[in-house]
Chain A
Amino acid sequence: MNVLELKNISKRYGAIQALDNVSLAIAPGEVVGLMGDNGAGKSTLVKVIAGNFAPTSGDILISEQKVEFHKPLDAQKAGIEVVYQDLAICNNLSAASNVFLGREPTRKIGPIKVVDYAFMRSKSAELFARLKSETRPRDLVHKMSGGQRQAVAIARTLLSDAKIVLMDEPTAAISVRQVAEVLNLIRQLSDHGIAVVLISHRMPDVFEVADKVVVLRRGELVADKKASQSSPEEITGLITGAIEHA
């Protein structure tokens, strides 16, 4: 069973064909490396999956059910979470507050609803433990390393019981050691049966974690193969067009 299936997705902006008949299937827990040069259609594809805009034609299926997303919230409700490149995190708040940002749990004291800090801390400690991250719930995010911030962003997706996590260049701006930490987080998600779509320019990162590599070139899907049966050289060729199809 596939957790996400795209069937003949096309997207046009006026005369520009951003996506051309893209079909793709992702299984639960599968890590997919989505690669392509700038302007190849990676962002467009992610935005279609995340519900930012509808495709011009084609179908999206979640767990074999046809869905239509009119706004990002629809996609979120269907179990799709996006970890943005700039992380969408508030530096002045604690890790726990960030994990629960926009979904704060409350308890009632008499007639007033107050934020349940104790629950926020214990639940996010649990999530960090599941991610095997050493992030502490009380710590302020602005004092954290890039890897820990990623852990916070990813814990947010666990909180909502996501089925698919889309990650836009999560390793672009962080140190080598932190990259290893983030790749570990991705493996943890996968171990929990959550599919991850990893958009990245960094070939080594993709080959380290991805089960499958997908290459877009000028809106066309030119490769969809197991990472173990491919090589960075082949993928580079596919991205640039030196190799036509795989």
Chain B
Amino acid sequence: MQKKDIGLGILIIVVGAIVYMHNPLFLSPINLGNTANLIGLFGLFAIGQGFVIMTGGIDLSVGSVIALLGVLFVDMVGKFGVPWPLAVAIIIGLGVLIGLAHGILITRFRLQPFVVTLCGLLIYRGIARGYTAESTAGFPFGSSYPQLEWLTIGRSFGVPHSFLAMLIVAAVMWVVLHHTVFGRHLCAVGKNEEAARFSGINTRFVTVMAYVICAVLASIAAIYFAMFTKSVQPSSHGNFYELYAIAAAVLGGCSLRGGEGSVIGIVLGAVLLQELQNLVNLLGIPSSLNFAVMGAVILLGVLADQQFAAYRTRKSTERALGLLQKP
């Protein structure tokens, strides 16, 4: 656990305490359960976004991927009667293809990640709207899929399964990032691609894999979101979600310059974002202000972090100087 993660954890507890003091409902099981569900949903794809950011890239297409794959999933299961395990496999397969496409365009054709995924954002959203002719995709009336529902929107002991899924994904990705050779290479490629290449690392493969991981986690999130909302409105479903993911990753200590980040940090970032949403609701702040609150808190957090880091460096320099001057 890094220092930044601990700081973020403290911030979450402080904000939580303040909200609780104003409105004790904050800690009610219902509220906690609902918030945990949202943390799970948003955390799933924020982790993927974090991996891309660690390579020094960015994936702006996440929200549109969630809309497009959500529409396809609902239609496959609801309209065409595809067995849901097969539909899940197809959706994840599509996620792999989307990630590969992004990664190959970025590494082989040397396009900038921002441009590639911005085009992705427009294309996938456009296809989703065109395919459905702007109509909402939904499950037929009265249909039910007990196992699928248990896996996605079910709860055990009050804990939503989306949250558990996110924890499992986070645990796996934590091992991948911090304890596998791939994770080491990811950090190296993000910071100094040339050095990584000189060291014999297949930098293209590492970068492509980061985009694949991001798109696959987005596709899993797409299924969870589709099951959560039960119907997918192609023009608004998943709007701005890529920005939530980027915000969570940046709050969690990922540097947009690449090479830095931690999975625990990203998860905590997702927790803080949902806590802020919750704060807006519980404190009776008009929900139209919710973006403004989130933006202000992120800005203050990043600013405070930077000031604190500068303060620490100053202190340690002073200490070192003090030691030198002592005879």
Whether the pair A87, B181 counts as a contact (CB closer than 8 A) is no
Q: Are B201 and A115 in contact (CB under 8 A)?
A: no
Residues of B within 8 A of A89 (CB): 192, 195
Interface majority SS on B: helix, strand, loop or mixed? helix
Q: Is residue A93 within 8 Å, beta carbon to beta carbon, of the partner chain?
A: yes
Within 8 A of A (CB), among B179-238: 179-181, 183-185, 187-188, 190-192, 194-196, 198-201
Interface presence of A67 (CB below 8 A): no
**Which residues of B159-180 have CB atoms within 8 Å of chain A's CB atoms?**
175, 179-180
Are A114 and B175 in contact, with the CB atoms below 8 A? yes
Residue of B179, B183, B185, B195 contacting most chain A CB atoms (<10 Å): B195
Q: Is the CB of B5 closer than 8 A to any CB of chain A?
A: no
Determine the residue in chain B with the shortest Cβ distance to A89. Answer: B195
**Cα separation A86 to B197 with both chains bound (whole Å):** 13
Whether B259 is near chain A, meaning CB under 8 Å from some CB there, is yes
Query: Does A176 touch B at the CB level, under 8 Å?
Result: no
Residue of A nearest to B179 (CB): A114
Q: State whether the Cβ of B59 lies closer than 8 Å to any Cβ in chain A.
A: no
B: number of interface residues (CB 8 Å): 21
Are A93 and B188 interface neighbours, CB within 8 A?
Answer: yes
Does A12 have its Cβ within 8 Å of any Cβ on chain B?
no
Minimum Cβ distance to chain A for residue B314 (Å): 15
Is A101 an interface position by the 8 A CB rule?
yes
Closest to A117 in B: B179
Q: Which of A13-21, A102-110, A197-205, A215-223 contacts B (4 or more CB under 8 A)?
A: A102-110
Complex contact B195–A90 (CB within 8 A):
yes
The residue in chain A whose Cβ has the minimal distance to the Cβ of B178 is: A115
Report how far A102 CA is from B201 CA in the complex, Å: 5
- In the complex, whether A88 has a CB less than 8 A from a CB of chain B is yes
The reply to whether A114 and B201 form a contact with Cβ atoms under 8 Å apart is no
Q: How many residues of A contact B (CB 8 A)?
A: 20
Q: How far is the CB of A53 from chain B (nearest CB, A)?
A: 16
**A230 interfacial by beta-carbon distance below 8 Å:** no
Chain A proximity of B300: nearest CB distance (Å): 26
> Is B242 on the interface with A (CB-CB < 8 A)?
no
Asked whether A73 is an interface residue with its Cβ less than 8 Å from the other chain, the reply is: yes
> Taking the complex as formed, is B260 at the interface, i.e. its CB lies under 8 A from any CB of chain A?
yes
- B200 near A90 with CB under 8 A, answer no
Question: Which of these, A87, A90, A114, contacts B259 with CB under 8 Å?
Answer: A90
Contact with B along A57-96 (1 / 0, CB 8 A): 0000000000000000100000000001011111111000
Contact of A102 among B179, B190, B196 (CB under 8 A): B196
Q: How far apart are B252's CB and chain A's nearest CB, in angstroms?
A: 16
- Report the minimum CB–CB distance from B179 to chain A (whole Å): 4
Q: Which residue of A lies closest to B192 (CB)?
A: A90
CA distance A89 to B113 in the complex (A): 24
**A97 located at the interface, meaning its Cβ lies under 8 Å from any Cβ of chain B in the complex:** yes
Tell me whether A112 is interfacial, beta carbon within 8 Å. Answer: yes
Question: Taking each of B175, B196, B198, B200, which has the highest tally of chain A beta carbons within 10 Å of its own beta carbon?
Answer: B198
CA distance A24 to B198 in the complex (A): 27
B interface footprint on A112-125 (CB within 8 Å = 1, 0 otherwise) = 11110000000000
In the bound complex, do residue A114 and residue B184 qualify as a contact, i.e. CB atoms below 8 Å apart?
no
Q: Can you list 15 A-B contacts (CB < 8 A)?
A: A73-B200, A84-B198, A88-B192, A88-B195, A88-B198, A89-B192, A89-B195, A90-B192, A91-B192, A91-B259, A92-B187, A97-B184, A101-B199, A102-B200, A114-B179
Residues on B close to A: CB < 8 A?
175, 179-181, 183-185, 187-188, 190-192, 194-196, 198-201, 259-260
Q: Given A91-B191, A114-B175, A115-B179, 5 more contacts at CB 8 Å?
A: A90-B187, A92-B259, A102-B199, A102-B201, A114-B179
